[in-house]
Structure 1
């Protein structure tokens, strides 16, 4: 059980008035979960924002870690994601309840559609997305999740959802790092009151040996990872780096102790080369 008080991380306001912590711990499949790392994040680093997904197959493990930590549920921000294999009005609702059950919670703080592609032959992506979003809207209206959103959605996906449904997504979670800066999408989200959340802030390590990043790491006496995460949060982006190593999680949490100068933020802003280190939703209709 945690013996230390939580650190106070900055938050970003959602359109419904809730405050989402700007920094969290991401989890993933393929060895992306560590019980000790999650406990370290919660107990030693004061992290209160945990991001997961059904696809990562670690919901039950997270339930154990949360219980062992002793952190009150009301102090946590828990995000989960609905995989396209469970898209559809009825299926989505059932999947939500199963995820809550596996995580040992009665509600989620944020529930996201994981991908814009529906993966349902014979039905258009748009039709399935709209059906699924209506289910999420009802879960939100019933208080079963405090906010709802999407992940990997581009502008045309969001435009269609606006036309087809009632609630504008509170969050859009997208790949974001110095090498992948979808600035047009970020600006669109801000205009529409959608909080932009970035995953893979270190580009799966591909940005850590960039000469500009290395130069700034030396200038500030920080690690390349800290430079990239600081750049992300300083841009106002909700950021969820993943790690299973305690020392890395601790290091990642220290980015609120320094600030990048404006010219250095601009230098990092020029590193975009369009690469994706994970899924690319560009071809999804």
Structure 2
């Protein structure tokens, strides 16, 4: 396995097994880190309208010199843009900022934002309709969701014509979200792991320090490999060139079954996932 290996989404589109995240990166940092990531071999870049760095990501894609069709690009619908017309405008705005003719994967970022709490089902349904039309128009290749629990996906499927191919959730040894992962597996939905390193807290866990020493790897490399061995799709993020390369160097070792179980037992050691029905944004 390598950075260019892929999972096949249920609609046949192939997505690289590791993505490069840009959450909390400024326009400038996103541009430079995307260039470094592509130089390191990543071919899957993740951003969102809420990150306010799509233009920087787009510049990084262009400056890399790679062909657009050789890079998988994900972005997401912002919390204030749910609804049919709003989503149509948001999709076009992302295309313009990224300076691209199409988005490989477009995701509803949160299922139940505060602005739409009284009618989240209808808001998601109308957003999805606009997303489906963008697929038909060739502007989007695959559709996904983020932070969705099973009841959110079930509600979406009451009206959806195109099934979600991927669910991007907070997923790391501290927050395994077993119920959602099992649901995803049962419905052939890829479980994509954002904050796969627990936004840094994971580095303080003693068991991981010991195992990293055993495998002569960093804790980040160990945890990313753990994610891959579970069949997840991790999205490591860094703005440091050395770390970007380090996080990509995880294909020359295998974690033993007993050590996988040890890591599986670290739930709650570095925080847990937020409840999407009660977020304050």
Question: Is TM more than 0.5 here?
Answer: yes
8 A contact 1:204–1:277 mirrored in 2: no
Q: 1:275: how far off?
A: 6.2
Distance in 2, matches of 1:248 and 1:199, equals 17
Determine if the alignment matches structure 1 residue 126 to structure 2 residue 121. yes
- Specify which of 19, 22, 40 is matched with residue 17 of structure 2: 22
Residue aligned with 1:109, SS? strand
Aligned to 2:182: 187
- Specify which of 47, 50, 56 is matched with residue 51 of structure 2: 56
Residue aligned with 1:256, SS? coil
Taking the TM superposition and a 5 Å limit, the aligned residue runs for 1:201-212 are: 201-212=196-207
Residue deviations 1:159-180, cap 9 Å, x none? 1111232221011100001000
Distance in 2, matches of 1:88 and 1:276, equals 32
Gaps of 5+ in 2: none
Q: 1:182: how far off?
A: 0.7
Residue aligned with 1:146, SS? strand
8 A contact 2:47–2:74 mirrored in 1: yes
Determine if the alignment matches structure 1 residue 176 to structure 2 residue 176. no
Residue aligned with 1:166, SS? coil
Residue deviations 1:239-276, cap 9 Å, x none? 11110001111110001121111111111111112864
Distance in 2, matches of 1:282 and 1:123, equals 11
Aligned to 1:39: 35
Aligned length: 277
Distance in 2, matches of 1:50 and 1:23, equals 9
Q: How much is the aligned-residue C-alpha RMSD, in angstroms?
A: 1.8
Residue aligned with 1:217, SS? helix
Q: With structure 2 as the length reference, what TM-score do the two structures score?
A: 0.93
Q: With structure 1 as the length reference, what TM-score do the two structures score?
A: 0.92
Determine if the alignment matches structure 1 residue 94 to structure 2 residue 110. no
Residue aligned with 1:163, SS? coil
Residue deviations 1:48-79, cap 9 Å, x none? 10000011111111121111111100100000
Aligned to 1:4: none
8 A contact 1:111–1:148 mirrored in 2: yes
Distance in 2, matches of 1:104 and 1:13, equals 26
Aligned to 1:261: 256
Aligned to 2:217: 222
